[in-house]
Chain A
Amino acid sequence: MKSQDKIKKLIRVILTILLSVHLVIIVMQGLIPSKSTIMKKLSPWIYDYTLMTGCKQNWPMFTTIPLYHSHHVELEVVDSNKNTFRLGPSIPGLKKYNHSYLRYHTTFSRMRTNTYKLYMNAYMENAKRMIEQEHNIKVRSLTMIFAYEKLQKLYVIRRKKEMVKSHEIQIGPYTWD
């Protein structure tokens, strides 16, 4: 065997091993539930590899019913003169909430959960700074207002002939001296 062929063969062996290990890892991470004992034991080995290769995956797509028919988010601002007004939540620019682009719904819905509390806290600080710069005021408090039309249960819809019920959630107020 020529030395060139030997190198080719060696590369092929290495690739076969790497691809096989990769396949085993993605199948295990993809198909064995993360709460199982096997995965709890193996995840320290698997986790970093799947993060580095971008192959970490979780597919909880519509694992239960969607809750909302429509959604809207606004920021309620109280300034140092106790004037109250509302602004769009998209920073920079404090643009109005964009209903047609799903990523805004996903972002704000996640941010209001406890898991993403750090994101929400930082967002409020950034929004305050931006409002003060753009409107030349001193912000005293900020509240994020989620206005939803929540889908009712099917038996309620059939009985009352009403598809949705309006629903409002407030996050905050975040206050500053």
Chain B
Amino acid sequence: MGLSFIRTYQRLETFWFSLAPAWIYALCRIAFGLVSLLNLIFLYPHRYQFFSPTGLTDQDVVLRLIQNTPYYSIFYHIDSPSAVDGVFFIAIIASIGLIFGFLGRLCSIILFLWSMSYTSYAFTGMHSWDFLLRIYAFVLMISPLGSFYSLDRYSLQRFVPFVSYNRMVSHHGLLLLKVQLVIVYWQTLWLKLPDQYWRNGELISYFMMSMYSRFPSIEFAYWPIFSNIMTYGSLLLECFLPILLWKKRYRRIGIFLGCVFHLSIMATSHIVMFSLTTLIMYIAFLKEEDKDLLQQQYQRWKNRN
């Protein structure tokens, strides 16, 4: 009994703390910083509408609704537009800090607090990517940030040359991101499957004529085969992408198909932020051999030219 418990625990410990290349975390950190910054840039012109106490969201109502819940937001305590400016300024600086790996840990904590704050306050205007960014912020906060490609490493090595950095770090954060991808795809699939328009394959026709489409046109009503292929294709991808990505043999096919899927959504719809945010999770599926392969390809290309 005791021995089997210890073995189970050891398996669990290996499951969480196996090693992964630190550059993968660094890529996640940079990608998250970039997408957070982009989200902030889009939000910035509308900051008073969504976050000032005299904006679309009434502060008193929010405070009444969140009573006895563990929601927290800096915007609950803000009483002027200039304070909103201050919060945005700090969040923008933290995003830039994360991109360049400057005080990475502090920046990740600030971005987590920022994500909690803005999603808990202007709840009526939030989209799926906001919640996904909030989850990433939490994961990044508890992960090794990856000293690769960071000013922290550069500056410390300059002043303390004997400091060494681990090339391999615990993969628990990447594991959480991988599981997150499964949850997003499979939960949305579960919710879509009972719907008649997903089932009869008409959904994409409606989507492409709607306000979300980049090229809304009546022509899509006359392309039922196209709609069927795209609708069922989306469902198939949402069902099988997590399996492909987790299977070592099909991982690269999964990454390729997922990127094509989300880049197509970006190209044909106005929901750019969601695709960009989702693609961050794909970075967690990269392996050391992918870097080697890219380096080889680059070398070959360089030699040829």
- Judge if B131 is at the interface, Cβ distance under 8 Å: yes
Q: Would you give the shortest CB distance from A59 to chain B, in whole angstroms? A: 4
By a CB distance below 8 angstroms, the chain A residues around B221 are 154, 157-158, 163
By a CB distance below 8 angstroms, the chain A residues around B187 are 30-31, 57-59
Q: For the complex, give the distance between the alpha carbons of A141 and B64 in Å.
A: 26
- Judge if A27 is at the interface, Cβ distance under 8 Å: yes
A59-75: CB near B (< 8 Å → 1, else 0) gives 11111111111110000
Q: Which residue of B lies closest to A16 (CB)?
A: B13
SS class, residues of chain A in contact with chain B: helix
**Given A19-B16, A65-B202, A158-B222: A54 touches B134 (CB 8 Å cut-off):** yes
B28-36, B178-186, B285-293: which lies at the interface: B178-186
Contact of A119 with B13 in the complex, beta carbons under 8 Å: no
A16-30: CB near B (< 8 Å → 1, else 0) gives 100110110011001
Contact of A23 with B179 in the complex, beta carbons under 8 Å: yes
Contact of A151 with B195 in the complex, beta carbons under 8 Å: no
Q: For the complex, give the distance between the alpha carbons of A172 and B17 in Å.
A: 58
Contact of A71 with B172 in the complex, beta carbons under 8 Å: no
Q: For the complex, give the distance between the alpha carbons of A61 and B58 in Å.
A: 27
Contact of A54 with B206 in the complex, beta carbons under 8 Å: no
**Given A70-B211, A163-B218: A27 touches B183 (CB 8 Å cut-off):** yes
**Given A30-B187, A54-B134, A65-B197: A151 touches B210 (CB 8 Å cut-off):** yes
By a CB distance below 8 angstroms, the chain B residues around A91 are 49, 54-56
Picked from B81, B127, B183, B206, the residue with its CB within 8 Å of the CB of A66 is B206
B28-72: CB near A (< 8 Å → 1, else 0) gives 000000000000001100101110101111101100110001110
- Judge if B108 is at the interface, Cβ distance under 8 Å: no
Contact of B203 with A62 in the complex, beta carbons under 8 Å: yes
By a CB distance below 8 angstroms, the chain B residues around A106 are 124-127
A38-46, A77-85, A122-130: which lies at the interface: A122-130
- Judge if A12 is at the interface, Cβ distance under 8 Å: yes
Q: How large is the interface on A (under 10, 10 to 19, 20 to 34, 35 or more residues)?
A: 35 or more
By a CB distance below 8 angstroms, the chain A residues around B126 are 103, 106
26 contacts between A and B (CB under 8 A): A12-B13, A23-B176, A30-B187, A48-B69, A51-B70, A54-B134, A56-B131, A57-B135, A58-B187, A59-B188, A64-B203, A65-B197, A65-B207, A65-B210, A66-B211, A90-B56, A92-B49, A106-B125, A106-B126, A106-B127, A119-B57, A122-B60, A122-B61, A123-B56, A154-B206, A154-B224
Q: Which of B124, B138, B184, B188 has the most CB of A within 10 A?
A: B124
Q: Which residue of B lies closest to A105 (CB)?
A: B211
Contact of A68 with B210 in the complex, beta carbons under 8 Å: yes
Q: For the complex, give the distance between the alpha carbons of A55 and B55 in Å.
A: 27
SS class, residues of chain B in contact with chain A: helix
Q: Which residue of B lies closest to A19 (CB)?
A: B16
**Given A19-B16, A52-B70, A65-B203: A103 touches B183 (CB 8 Å cut-off):** no
Q: Would you give the shortest CB distance from A121 to chain B, in whole angstroms? A: 8
Interface residues of A (CB under 8 A from B): 12-13, 15-16, 19-20, 22-23, 26-27, 30-31, 33, 48, 51-71, 90-93, 95, 98, 101-107, 110-111, 116, 118-119, 121-123, 125-126, 130, 151, 154, 157-158, 161, 163
By a CB distance below 8 angstroms, the chain B residues around A119 are 57-58, 61, 124
Picked from B48, B71, B124, B207, the residue with its CB within 8 Å of the CB of A110 is B124
Q: For the complex, give the distance between the alpha carbons of A104 and B43 in Å.
A: 11
Q: Would you give the shortest CB distance from A146 to chain B, in whole angstroms? A: 13
By a CB distance below 8 angstroms, the chain A residues around B172 are 15, 19
Known: A31-B186, A66-B207. 20 other contacts (CB 8 A): A15-B16, A19-B176, A26-B176, A55-B135, A57-B187, A59-B188, A63-B188, A65-B202, A69-B210, A70-B211, A91-B54, A92-B55, A93-B48, A104-B49, A106-B127, A107-B124, A118-B64, A122-B58, A154-B224, A163-B221
- Judge if B270 is at the interface, Cβ distance under 8 Å: yes
Contact of B56 with A69 in the complex, beta carbons under 8 Å: no
- Judge if B297 is at the interface, Cβ distance under 8 Å: no
B96-104, B111-119, B157-165, B246-254: which lies at the interface: B111-119
